[in-house]
């Protein structure tokens, strides 16, 4: 089968498997993201404080602290000693995402993912194919610069321009001056670089990539022989390079997507009309190509 146009990615799956099957993990991610936003809003709106704080640091049910690992790393880099509750909050987050799934925060929690997904969808529908060539390693360079800069300046450099926190404030407090950051990222992803922010620049994503590099839940290729090279999975995946080895690798290569760049969004599972992909664990998966 010839590859499909990016504009029609998912059409074959919808026709063959139905609308729900083709969008189920996308809808579940949106439910997760908007539910978390609603938890932050429950206090200001109804005085029921489920999550108090913001995406950089919060308190669940006035009991369980949670803290952004990057923010805590910045604090430690400045030489300040954060409160023990902040350290516990960062520890909880690191353990959860380190054990459960690679970059789950990016696809199931982060509100910026909604913005960048819309930009990617528009790129496909409008047929925008040109994209700037940016190294995917740049996000790790930016992460290192932030930590070094925080150590030198004694300030939390990233928190001045953190678009995730800015978007969170928009939902809770309404439109503000920092909304321009969100608009810039949307236009950057739409017009300059495909999946540019999350895939190439975001230091938060880089942090969670390192945290979840050895996490348990992974996407796996169930059966390579089912693939008809329609390219729909490559067209919708925010990190398409992670699909190559599990899907088209050599005999003995793992059929589990083990790359730390995978955001465990499940979109490739949704979009595949041949049911090539499924969620599994990192311990499943090698294949003998000679037997296919």
Which distant-in-sequence residues (6+ apart) come within 8 Å of 48 by Cβ? 42
CA distance linking residue 287 with residue 292, whole number of Å: 9
* All structural domains of the chain: 6-19+217-281 (3.30.70.20), 26-211 (no CATH)
Confidence of residue 292 (pLDDT cuts 50, 70, 90): very low
Q: What is the mean pLDDT of residues 154-175?
A: 76
Rounded to the nearest integer, the mean pLDDT of the chain is 89
Q: What is the mean pLDDT of residues 126-131?
A: 89
CA distance linking residue 113 with residue 198, whole number of Å: 8
Structure tokens at 283: 């311990």
Question: Is it the case that residue 1 has pLDDT exceeding 60?
Answer: no
Nearest to 274 by CA among 247, 245, 253: 247
pLDDT number for residue 291: 34
Which distant-in-sequence residues (6+ apart) come within 8 Å of 198 by Cβ? 106, 112, 113, 116, 205, 238, 263
171: how many CB neighbours lie within 10 A of its CB? Answer: 15
- The burial class, CB within 10 Å (0-12 / 13-18 / 19+), for 67 is buried
pLDDT number for residue 220: 94
CA 93 to chain CA mean position, Å: 15
pLDDT number for residue 240: 92
In this structure, of 3-17, 77-91, 138-152, 278-292, the range with the lowest mean pLDDT score is 278-292
Question: Is it the case that residue 207 has pLDDT exceeding 90?
Answer: yes
| Residue 245 near residue 253 (C-beta atoms within 8 A) | yes
Which distant-in-sequence residues (6+ apart) come within 8 Å of 197 by Cβ? 112, 116, 185, 188, 189
pLDDT number for residue 285: 58
pLDDT number for residue 169: 67
pLDDT number for residue 288: 40
User: Which position has the higher pLDDT, 60 or 178?
Assistant: 60
pLDDT number for residue 6: 85
Question: Is it the case that residue 65 has pLDDT exceeding 80?
Answer: yes
Q: What is the DSSP letter of 81?
A: -
Q: What is the mean pLDDT of residues 227-240?
A: 92
Question: Is it the case that residue 39 has pLDDT exceeding 50?
Answer: yes
- The burial class, CB within 10 Å (0-12 / 13-18 / 19+), for 268 is buried
Q: In this structure, is the dihedral angle defined by the CA atoms of residues 114, 117, 119 and 121, taken in order, positive or negative?
A: negative
Q: What is the mean pLDDT of residues 169-196?
A: 80
Nearest to 276 by CA among 233, 240, 216, 245: 233
Confidence of residue 76 (pLDDT cuts 50, 70, 90): very high
Q: What is the mean pLDDT of residues 172-193?
A: 80
Nearest to 101 by CA among 269, 258, 267: 258
pLDDT number for residue 95: 95
Q: What is the mean pLDDT of residues 223-239?
A: 92
Question: Is it the case that residue 81 has pLDDT exceeding 90?
Answer: no
Question: Is it the case that residue 152 has pLDDT exceeding 70?
Answer: yes
pLDDT number for residue 289: 37
| Residue 53 near residue 59 (C-beta atoms within 8 A) | yes
């Amino acid at each position: 089968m010839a590859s499909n146009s990016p504009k029609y990615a998912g059409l074959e799956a919808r026709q063959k498997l139905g609308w729900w099957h083709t969008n189920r993990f996308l809808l579940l991610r949106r439910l997760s993201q908007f539910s978390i936003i609603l938890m932050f809003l429950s206090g200001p709106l109804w005085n029921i404080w489920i999550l108090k704080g913001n995406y950089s640091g919060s308190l669940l049910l006035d009991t369980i602290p949670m803290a952004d690992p990057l923010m805590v790393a910045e604090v430690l880099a400045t030489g300040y000693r954060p409160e023990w509750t902040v350290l516990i909050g960062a520890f909880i987050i690191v353990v959860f995402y380190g054990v459960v799934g690679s970059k789950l925060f990016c696809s199931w929690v982060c509100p910026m993912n909604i913005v960048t997904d819309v930009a990617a969808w528009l790129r496909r529908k409008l047929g925008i194919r040109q994209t700037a060539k940016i190294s995917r390693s740049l996000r790790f360079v930016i992460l290192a610069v932030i930590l070094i800069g925080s150590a030198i300046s004694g300030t939390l450099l990233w928190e001045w321009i953190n678009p995730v926190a800015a978007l969170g404030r928009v939902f809770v407090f309404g439109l503000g001056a920092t909304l321009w950051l969100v608009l810039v990222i949307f236009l950057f992803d739409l017009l300059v670089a495909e999946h540019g922010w999350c895939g190439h620049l975001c230091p938060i994503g880089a942090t969670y990539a390192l945290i979840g590099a050895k996490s348990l839940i992974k996407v796996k290729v169930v059966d390579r022989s089912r693939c008809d090279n329609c390219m729909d999975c490559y067209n919708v995946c925010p990190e398409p390079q992670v699909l190559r080895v599990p899907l088209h690798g050599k005999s003995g290569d793992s059929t589990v997507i083990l790359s730390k760049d995978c955001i465990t969004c499940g979109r490739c599972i949704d979009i595949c009309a041949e049911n090539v992909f499924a969620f599994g664990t990192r311990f499943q998966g090698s294949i003998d190509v000679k037997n296919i």
